[in-house]
Amino acid sequence: MQQVDHLTTTPEAPPRGSSGAFVWVRKNLFGSIFSSILTLVICGLIIWFVPSLVEWALIKAVWPGAGADACRAASGEGACWAVIGDKWRLIIFGRYPFDEHWRPTLAMLVLMGTVLVSCDRRFWSARLIVVWILGMLVFLWLMGGGFGLTSVPTGLWGGLPLTMMLAFFGMVVAFPLAILLALGRRSSLPLIKVVSVVYIELIRGVPLISLLFMGSFLLPLFMPAGTTIDAVLRAQIAIILFQAAYLAETIRGGLQALPKGQSEAADALALGYWKTQLLIVLPQALKISIPPIVGSLISLFKDTSLVAIVSLSDLLLSMRQAMGDPVWRPFFVEAFLFIMLIYWAFCFSMSKYSQYLERTLETGHRRR
Amino acid sequence: MATAGLSAQRTGGLGAAWRNPRVRGIIYQIVVVGLLAALIAFLVNNTITNLAIRQIRTGYDFLAQQAGFNIGEHVIPFAPSDSYGRAIVVGFLNTLKVSILGIIIASAIGVLMGIARLSSNWLLAKVAMVYIEIVRNIPLLLQLFFWYAIISQLLPNPRDALVPVPGFALSKMGLQMPALIYDPGQTPLVIIFLISMIAAYFYYRWARRRQAATGREPKLLLPIIGLIVLPTLVAYLVLGAPLHFDVPTFTRFNYQGGTSITPEFLALLVGLSIYTGSFIAENVRSGILGVPWGQSEASSALGLRRGQQMRLVVLPQALRIIVPPTTSQYLNLTKNSSLAVAIGYPDLLSVTNTTLNQTGQAIECISIMMGIYLVISLAISLFMNWYNKRVALVER
């Protein structure tokens, strides 16, 4: 008790001139002549730029509810947030039937719920696979209809739900493929190794957009005569094939970081190849590669926007379609900023999550 | 059951063969290759049937046919009467043009922003962080559309173009720049300039060797500038000032003369450089952080200034951490340049796409396009691996 009391006595003040706001400013803003000049220049730019930005975005802005005429009157002076108020449902849901918008909303919530559950480390187990399969089925049911809901053809799917579906479905379906490819690339069986390497390098060597073109021009040729494949499905297949190759390389990084002693010990316990991989190697290797896997999901989320080029109304294209309205067309900057914010919110939160994981998962499995 | 298993083990047979890892490996491989072969045979068979039904003739002879479409931007001359093959080459060169320029600008942005992110100046570090965190987390295609819309819709008409530097004009029509007018005196001027550059390089090498041998630092900056500037300046005056520029001037409706950069190219270049620059900045940052702090402390104990520490001690060591991930950023930039198709810059993918739509030769066009991208990727990887080996040798 006494000791504690001793420790809680007020500490002596630090030497003068080593703390406080003034010292901080001198050290971090005016540390040297060059640094001082930089600070002054940046401050000048901020003073020049920020007030006019605030004036444009907030003070003189036209808020939702107002009409396009009010925006036209304020054109060049203030932002036209009214365009978002008028068009947000078209941007978020695309051409999905207006009266049924509760379905994609619910579907997105289900998908988000599944993602959030997967983010919590307490739920990391094989049961997540079941959760994901269920989540995806419910999503497809809500979007597509059937079983009591009116059916909505995929041609009308669009906006954020489509973007989320392409990204998260692409990731989840590519995952087992990627594990097989990563194991195949490190396999001692020469033919399997060659097949994996060729596949991975071929896909990684070409742009995603060329794969999407291949999906829309060549896939119909590859299928038995008379069968038609849905455009959304074609894009989803191209994205899965693409993501599998990139994810395989990410997982291979984790496999390589694992000390060889782990699989040698499994050999010594007389475990076979699959038992070694499933029980010993993969759980540790996947854990190491989870942060880069999240990074790869961020890239995929951004890359889904490329389906706009093959005319799928994802968030990007549905925004452009919504802005085709001649009344609101001049205010495209605000619409751009709106969906930039949506994409940014998704990607930024994922990257923060990945950084958090990197900090908490570090338990010394890495090869030193 | 047990006896059956035992007897199988004793007599050898199938069970024993299955338990032999080598035999099992061979069986796995046969199964995988067999399945793959069956899949390919299925696809090829379908394709042949489909091609027969749609009466598409396969083969690459369409490449010699007249293209019939125009390409707005070309490095080598191109007219609609030229062949499809030449059109694809033009597209390929356009891809190379924007990729090479993009790689150079993105590297510059990346290095500057990566160092700024670690600056001791708090404000500068925060500005760099805001740039990186915003740009990295927004899809490139969206940024390209954004830049293109800004350039082609929000910039002023050519009549009242922005003139940042006299002779340069930025407007909806793109960037107008002065162009060099040909003069016979230019060839000797260029030759003299090159020779003085080489002389300056040799002087630099001599100075470095001398510094290594004697420990004394010979004057570097002034002699090198003198070596380059003086002969060129004298030659310039002697040859009668052979550099004339064709400055763009605004006539009734548009700019005349000079060269111009189209809005499509400008948007693509700006978008690609800013986007990839943010990724390279992160690579540079982690590379610099990867060099132990003791290196900086040791070099400041030797009396090096901060700039010198960075240039002579930290960056050379950081390079070997920076180069491999930056290679893949260069590859990404080159592959991402294919998004040009969305804003109408005639790159390889967009030209091949036009060709495909006109001729219907889907398999041929897509295979050519993918083949070229694979070759480009391979070339960049090989070059960067070579460079990586060179920087890796610098360390012990």
CA distances from A197 to A181, A184, A202, A217, A219 (A): 8, 8, 8, 26, 23
Nearest CA in chain B to A210: B370
What is the pLDDT confidence band of residue A138, given thresholds at 50, 70 and 90? very high
The minimum CA-CA distance between B116 and chain A, rounded to whole Å, is 11
The DSSP secondary-structure symbol of B181 reads E
Mutation to test the B interface, candidates A49, A91, A217, A358, most B Cβ within 10 Å: A217
- Which among B153, B341, B369 is the nearest to A309, CB-wise? B341
Highest mean predicted confidence (pLDDT) among B84-93, B148-157, B212-221: B84-93
Residue A47 with chain B: CB contacts under 8 Å = none
Q: Measured between alpha carbons, how far is A215 from A196 in angstroms, rounded to an integer?
A: 21
- Half-sphere exposure of B124 toward its Cβ, with a 13 Å CA cutoff? 22
pLDDT tens digits, A40-59 = 998 999 998 888 888 888 88
The reply to whether A29 touches chain B by the CB within 8 Å rule is: yes
pLDDT tens digits, B236-249 = 888 777 777 777 77
**DSSP H or E run through B136:** helix B122-136
The minimum CA-CA distance between A209 and chain B, rounded to whole Å, is 7
**B205: which residues sit within 8 A by CB, 6+ positions away?**
none
Residue B356 with chain A: CB contacts under 8 Å = 217
- Say yes or no for a CB contact (<8 Å) between B377 and A206: yes
- ∠ CA B314-B315-B319, nearest 5°, is 125
The reply to whether A308 touches chain B by the CB within 8 Å rule is: yes
- Which among B124, B366, B373 is the nearest to A218, CB-wise? B366
The reply to whether B195 touches chain A by the CB within 8 Å rule is: no
pLDDT tens digits, B259-282 = 788 889 999 999 999 999 999 999
CA distances from B95 to A204, B9, B64, B368, B376 (A): 18, 64, 22, 14, 10
User: What is the average pLDDT value for chain B, to the nearest integer?
Assistant: 85
Residue A209 with chain B: CB contacts under 8 Å = 338-339, 341, 349
The reply to whether A351 touches chain B by the CB within 8 Å rule is: yes
What is the pLDDT confidence band of residue B134, given thresholds at 50, 70 and 90? very high
Here the ipTM equals 0.87
- Window 19-38 of B, Cβ < 8 Å to A: 21, 25, 28-29, 32-33, 36
- Say yes or no for a CB contact (<8 Å) between B139 and A302: yes
Helix axes A190-205, A159-185, angle to 10 degrees: 150
**DSSP H or E run through B256:** strand B255-256
> Is the pLDDT at B395 greater than 50, yes or no?
no
The minimum CA-CA distance between A12 and chain B, rounded to whole Å, is 29
The reply to whether B93 touches chain A by the CB within 8 Å rule is: no
Q: Determine contact, residues B355/B343, Cβ cutoff 8 Å.
A: no
What is the pLDDT confidence band of residue A97, given thresholds at 50, 70 and 90? confident
Q: What is the reported pLDDT for B282? A: 92
- Say yes or no for a CB contact (<8 Å) between A220 and B369: no
Residue A339 with chain B: CB contacts under 8 Å = 142
The arithmetic mean of pLDDT across residues B190-206, rounded, is 89
- Among A52-66, A272-286, B4-18, B169-183, which stretch is predicted with the lowest mean pLDDT? B4-18
The reply to whether A303 touches chain B by the CB within 8 Å rule is: yes
How many helices (H) does chain B have, and how many strands (E)?
Answer: 15, 7
Residue A309 with chain B: CB contacts under 8 Å = 141, 339, 341-342
B168 compared with A366, residue with greater pLDDT: B168
Q: Measured between alpha carbons, how far is B18 from B27 in angstroms, rounded to an integer?
A: 9
> Is the pLDDT at B12 greater than 70, yes or no?
no
- The string over B64-97, giving b where at least 16 C-beta atoms fall within 10 Å of a residue's C-beta and e elsewhere, is eeebeeebebbeeebeeebebbbbbbbbbbbbbb
Residue A207 with chain B: CB contacts under 8 Å = 335-336, 338, 349, 373
The reply to whether A348 touches chain B by the CB within 8 Å rule is: yes
What is the pLDDT confidence band of residue A161, given thresholds at 50, 70 and 90? very high
- Say yes or no for a CB contact (<8 Å) between A221 and B47: yes
The minimum CA-CA distance between A297 and chain B, rounded to whole Å, is 12
- Which among A43, A213, A340 is the nearest to B138, CB-wise? A340
| Exposed / middle / buried, residue B271 (Cβ in 10 Å: 0-12, 13-18, 19+) | buried
Report CA A30 to chain centroid distance, whole Å.
39
